[in-house]
Chains A and B, each alone.
Chain A
Amino acid sequence: GAVVSQHPSWVICKSGTSVKIECRSLDFQATTMFWYRQFPKQSLMLMATSNEGSKATYEQGVEKDKFLINHASLTLSTLTVTSAHPEDSSFYICSARDLVERGPYNEQFFGPGTRLTVL
Protein backbone atom coordinates (compact mmCIF):
# COMPACT_ATOMS: atom_id res chain seq x y z
CA GLY A 1 0.00 0.00 0.00
CA ALA A 2 0.79 3.71 0.05
CA VAL A 3 2.12 3.99 -3.47
CA VAL A 4 2.70 7.32 -5.17
CA SER A 5 3.37 7.52 -8.87
CA GLN A 6 4.69 10.32 -11.05
CA HIS A 7 4.35 10.81 -14.75
CA PRO A 8 6.41 11.24 -16.76
CA SER A 9 9.52 9.79 -15.19
CA TRP A 10 11.67 11.95 -17.43
CA VAL A 11 11.02 14.70 -19.95
CA ILE A 12 13.12 16.79 -22.30
CA CYS A 13 11.68 20.01 -23.63
CA LYS A 14 12.70 23.14 -25.47
CA SER A 15 13.22 26.42 -23.71
CA GLY A 16 10.01 28.45 -23.56
CA THR A 17 7.62 25.51 -23.53
CA SER A 18 5.52 24.33 -20.60
CA VAL A 19 5.74 20.93 -19.00
CA LYS A 20 3.15 19.22 -16.81
CA ILE A 21 4.11 16.63 -14.20
CA GLU A 22 1.48 14.46 -12.55
CA CYS A 23 1.56 13.02 -9.05
CA ARG A 24 -0.95 10.35 -8.11
CA SER A 25 -1.66 8.48 -4.90
CA LEU A 26 -2.61 5.04 -6.17
CA ASP A 27 -4.13 3.31 -3.18
CA PHE A 28 -5.02 6.05 -0.73
CA GLN A 29 -6.56 9.49 -0.71
CA ALA A 30 -4.37 12.48 -0.07
CA THR A 31 -5.68 15.89 0.96
CA THR A 32 -2.15 17.18 0.97
CA MET A 33 0.64 16.65 -1.52
CA PHE A 34 4.07 18.22 -1.50
CA TRP A 35 6.34 19.16 -4.38
CA TYR A 36 10.11 19.08 -3.94
CA ARG A 37 13.00 19.93 -6.17
CA GLN A 38 16.34 18.20 -5.95
CA PHE A 39 19.52 19.48 -7.55
CA PRO A 40 22.41 17.10 -8.18
CA LYS A 41 24.30 16.27 -5.01
CA GLN A 42 21.93 18.43 -3.00
CA SER A 43 19.01 18.00 -0.70
CA LEU A 44 15.31 17.97 -1.48
CA MET A 45 13.95 21.49 -1.28
CA LEU A 46 10.25 21.92 -0.61
CA MET A 47 8.67 24.06 -3.30
CA ALA A 48 5.03 24.05 -2.33
CA THR A 49 2.28 22.34 -0.40
CA SER A 50 -0.71 21.36 -2.45
CA ASN A 51 -4.10 21.06 -0.79
CA GLU A 52 -7.06 19.48 -2.51
CA GLY A 53 -9.61 22.05 -3.54
CA SER A 54 -7.62 25.10 -2.52
CA LYS A 55 -4.64 27.12 -3.63
CA ALA A 56 -1.18 25.78 -3.11
CA THR A 57 1.10 27.29 -0.51
CA TYR A 58 4.49 28.18 -1.96
CA GLU A 59 7.76 28.35 -0.10
CA GLN A 60 9.71 31.56 -0.03
CA GLY A 61 11.56 32.17 -3.26
CA VAL A 62 9.42 29.87 -5.40
CA GLU A 63 7.60 31.67 -8.22
CA LYS A 64 3.98 30.63 -8.12
CA ASP A 65 3.33 31.92 -11.64
CA LYS A 66 6.13 29.78 -12.98
CA PHE A 67 5.36 26.61 -11.06
CA LEU A 68 1.60 26.15 -11.31
CA ILE A 69 0.12 23.57 -8.98
CA ASN A 70 -3.33 22.10 -9.26
CA HIS A 71 -4.73 19.58 -6.77
CA ALA A 72 -8.00 18.76 -8.48
CA SER A 73 -8.83 15.53 -6.68
CA LEU A 74 -7.84 13.52 -3.62
CA THR A 75 -5.53 11.38 -5.72
CA LEU A 76 -4.00 13.78 -8.22
CA SER A 77 -1.82 16.87 -8.08
CA THR A 78 -0.10 18.42 -11.07
CA LEU A 79 2.91 20.69 -11.33
CA THR A 80 3.24 22.73 -14.50
CA VAL A 81 6.55 24.39 -15.22
CA THR A 82 5.61 27.32 -17.45
CA SER A 83 7.97 28.88 -19.98
CA ALA A 84 10.70 26.50 -18.95
CA HIS A 85 14.33 27.56 -19.08
CA PRO A 86 17.52 25.54 -18.74
CA GLU A 87 17.88 26.62 -15.12
CA ASP A 88 14.59 24.81 -14.41
CA SER A 89 16.26 21.52 -15.26
CA SER A 90 16.10 19.43 -12.13
CA PHE A 91 14.62 16.39 -10.44
CA TYR A 92 11.08 17.04 -9.23
CA ILE A 93 9.67 14.79 -6.52
CA CYS A 94 6.20 14.74 -5.07
CA SER A 95 4.92 13.22 -1.87
CA ALA A 96 1.44 12.57 -0.58
CA ARG A 97 0.01 12.41 2.89
CA ASP A 98 -2.84 10.05 3.71
CA LEU A 99 -6.24 11.64 4.30
CA VAL A 100 -6.85 9.47 7.35
CA GLU A 101 -5.19 10.85 10.45
CA ARG A 102 -3.23 8.06 12.05
CA GLY A 103 -1.50 9.89 14.89
CA PRO A 104 0.63 12.93 15.61
CA TYR A 105 2.22 12.81 12.23
CA ASN A 106 0.97 11.47 8.97
CA GLU A 107 3.78 9.96 6.98
CA GLN A 108 4.57 11.38 3.58
CA PHE A 109 4.89 8.80 0.83
CA PHE A 110 7.19 9.78 -2.00
CA GLY A 111 6.92 9.36 -5.72
CA PRO A 112 9.83 8.18 -7.85
CA GLY A 113 10.55 11.64 -9.22
CA THR A 114 10.57 13.27 -12.65
CA ARG A 115 13.78 14.29 -14.37
CA LEU A 116 13.23 17.51 -16.34
CA THR A 117 15.80 18.66 -18.86
CA VAL A 118 15.24 21.96 -20.63
CA LEU A 119 17.31 22.51 -23.74
Chain B
Amino acid sequence: AQSVSQHNHHVILSEAASLELGCNYSYGGTVNLFWYVQYPGQHLQLLLKYFSGDPLVKGIKGFEAEFIKSKFSFNLRKPSVQWSDTAEYFCAVNPILTGGGNKLTFGTGTQLKVEL
Protein backbone atom coordinates (compact mmCIF):
# COMPACT_ATOMS: atom_id res chain seq x y z
CA ALA B 1 0.00 0.00 0.00
CA GLN B 2 1.11 3.52 -0.68
CA SER B 3 2.33 5.75 2.12
CA VAL B 4 3.04 9.44 2.52
CA SER B 5 5.78 10.81 4.72
CA GLN B 6 6.03 14.31 6.09
CA HIS B 7 9.34 14.63 7.84
CA ASN B 8 8.73 17.86 9.69
CA HIS B 9 6.13 17.42 12.40
CA HIS B 10 6.51 20.84 13.97
CA VAL B 11 7.97 23.93 12.37
CA ILE B 12 8.34 27.33 14.01
CA LEU B 13 9.26 30.33 11.87
CA SER B 14 9.38 34.04 12.23
CA GLU B 15 7.30 36.19 9.93
CA ALA B 16 8.92 36.79 6.54
CA ALA B 17 11.01 33.64 6.79
CA SER B 18 10.93 31.18 3.92
CA LEU B 19 9.12 27.88 4.27
CA GLU B 20 9.70 24.46 2.83
CA LEU B 21 7.77 21.43 4.03
CA GLY B 22 8.83 18.02 2.83
CA CYS B 23 6.55 15.34 1.44
CA ASN B 24 7.56 11.96 0.02
CA TYR B 25 5.34 9.17 -1.15
CA SER B 26 5.86 5.51 -1.90
CA TYR B 27 3.94 4.63 -5.04
CA GLY B 28 5.64 3.81 -8.31
CA GLY B 29 2.79 4.61 -10.66
CA THR B 30 1.05 7.78 -11.73
CA VAL B 31 -0.23 9.95 -8.92
CA ASN B 32 -2.18 13.07 -8.24
CA LEU B 33 -0.66 15.10 -5.42
CA PHE B 34 -2.20 17.57 -3.02
CA TRP B 35 -1.46 19.86 -0.15
CA TYR B 36 -4.24 20.65 2.28
CA VAL B 37 -4.24 23.21 5.06
CA GLN B 38 -6.23 23.18 8.28
CA TYR B 39 -6.38 26.48 10.11
CA PRO B 40 -7.14 26.35 13.84
CA GLY B 41 -10.76 25.37 14.37
CA GLN B 42 -11.49 25.05 10.67
CA HIS B 43 -11.91 22.24 8.18
CA LEU B 44 -9.39 21.00 5.67
CA GLN B 45 -8.96 23.20 2.63
CA LEU B 46 -7.18 22.48 -0.62
CA LEU B 47 -4.03 24.56 -0.97
CA LEU B 48 -2.83 23.26 -4.32
CA LYS B 49 -2.77 20.16 -6.49
CA TYR B 50 -0.70 18.50 -9.18
CA PHE B 51 -2.16 16.31 -11.92
CA SER B 52 0.23 16.58 -14.85
CA GLY B 53 2.27 19.07 -16.84
CA ASP B 54 4.45 21.69 -15.22
CA PRO B 55 5.86 20.10 -12.06
CA LEU B 56 5.89 23.48 -10.33
CA VAL B 57 2.37 24.27 -9.24
CA LYS B 58 1.10 27.42 -7.64
CA GLY B 59 -1.68 27.51 -5.13
CA ILE B 60 -3.55 29.99 -3.04
CA LYS B 61 -1.99 32.48 -0.64
CA GLY B 62 1.42 32.45 -2.32
CA PHE B 63 2.14 28.76 -1.80
CA GLU B 64 3.76 26.60 -4.43
CA ALA B 65 4.93 23.01 -4.63
CA GLU B 66 7.32 21.15 -6.86
CA PHE B 67 6.81 17.59 -8.02
CA ILE B 68 10.09 15.74 -8.46
CA LYS B 69 9.20 12.35 -9.86
CA SER B 70 12.66 10.85 -9.46
CA LYS B 71 12.59 11.66 -5.76
CA PHE B 72 8.92 10.81 -5.21
CA SER B 73 8.63 14.20 -3.58
CA PHE B 74 6.14 17.06 -3.56
CA ASN B 75 7.56 19.72 -1.27
CA LEU B 76 5.56 22.77 -0.31
CA ARG B 77 7.19 26.20 -0.34
CA LYS B 78 6.42 29.81 0.43
CA PRO B 79 9.03 32.57 0.09
CA SER B 80 7.78 34.67 2.99
CA VAL B 81 5.37 33.35 5.61
CA GLN B 82 2.86 35.39 7.54
CA TRP B 83 1.44 34.96 11.01
CA SER B 84 -1.86 33.94 9.39
CA ASP B 85 -0.14 30.91 7.85
CA THR B 86 -0.11 29.27 11.28
CA ALA B 87 -1.94 26.01 10.61
CA GLU B 88 -1.49 22.30 10.06
CA TYR B 89 -0.44 21.23 6.59
CA PHE B 90 -1.19 17.82 5.10
CA CYS B 91 0.28 16.27 2.01
CA ALA B 92 -1.96 13.75 0.23
CA VAL B 93 -1.58 11.35 -2.65
CA ASN B 94 -4.18 9.85 -4.95
CA PRO B 95 -2.69 6.96 -6.94
CA ILE B 96 -4.15 6.61 -10.40
CA LEU B 97 -5.39 3.04 -10.50
CA THR B 98 -6.93 1.00 -13.27
CA GLY B 99 -10.67 1.24 -12.90
CA GLY B 100 -10.57 4.65 -11.33
CA GLY B 101 -10.72 5.58 -7.69
CA ASN B 102 -10.50 8.76 -5.80
CA LYS B 103 -8.87 7.70 -2.55
CA LEU B 104 -6.53 9.99 -0.76
CA THR B 105 -3.68 8.82 1.43
CA PHE B 106 -2.60 11.53 3.83
CA GLY B 107 0.70 12.26 5.49
CA THR B 108 0.86 12.76 9.24
CA GLY B 109 0.76 16.52 8.93
CA THR B 110 3.11 19.37 9.80
CA GLN B 111 2.15 21.88 12.42
CA LEU B 112 3.44 25.29 11.38
CA LYS B 113 3.64 28.13 13.86
CA VAL B 114 4.59 31.56 12.63
CA GLU B 115 5.74 33.99 15.26
CA LEU B 116 5.53 37.75 14.99
Q: Which of B46, B51, B52, B108 touches A42 (beta carbons < 8 Å)?
A: B108
Binding site for A on B (CB under 8 A): 4, 9, 32, 36, 42-46, 49, 51-52, 90, 94, 102-109
User: In the complex, A93 Cα to B88 Cα: how many Å?
Assistant: 15
Contact status B102-A46, CB under 8 Å: no
- Interface pair A44/B102, CB less than 8 Å apart: no
A105 partner, pick from B4, B9, B32, beta carbons under 8 A? B32
Q: Is A54 an interface residue (CB 8 A)?
A: no
Closest Cβ–Cβ distance, residue A99 to chain B (whole Å): 13
The distance in angstroms between the C-alpha atoms of A95 and B4, with both chains bound, is 19
Q: Are B102 and A106 in contact (CB under 8 A)?
A: yes
- Size of A's binding interface in residues, CB under 8 A: 23
**Number of residue pairs spanning A and B whose beta carbons lie under 8 angstroms apart:** 49
* A110-B43 in contact (CB<8A): yes
Contacting residues, chain B, for A45 (C-beta < 8 A): 106
Would you call B102 and A110 a contact (CB within 8 A)? no
A44, B32: Cβ atoms under 8 Å? no
Bound form: Cα–Cα A97–B46 in Å: 13
Nearest residue in A to B91 (C-beta to C-beta)?
Answer: A43
> Bound state CA distance, A43 and B105, in angstroms?
9
Residues of A within 8 A of B42 (CB): 112
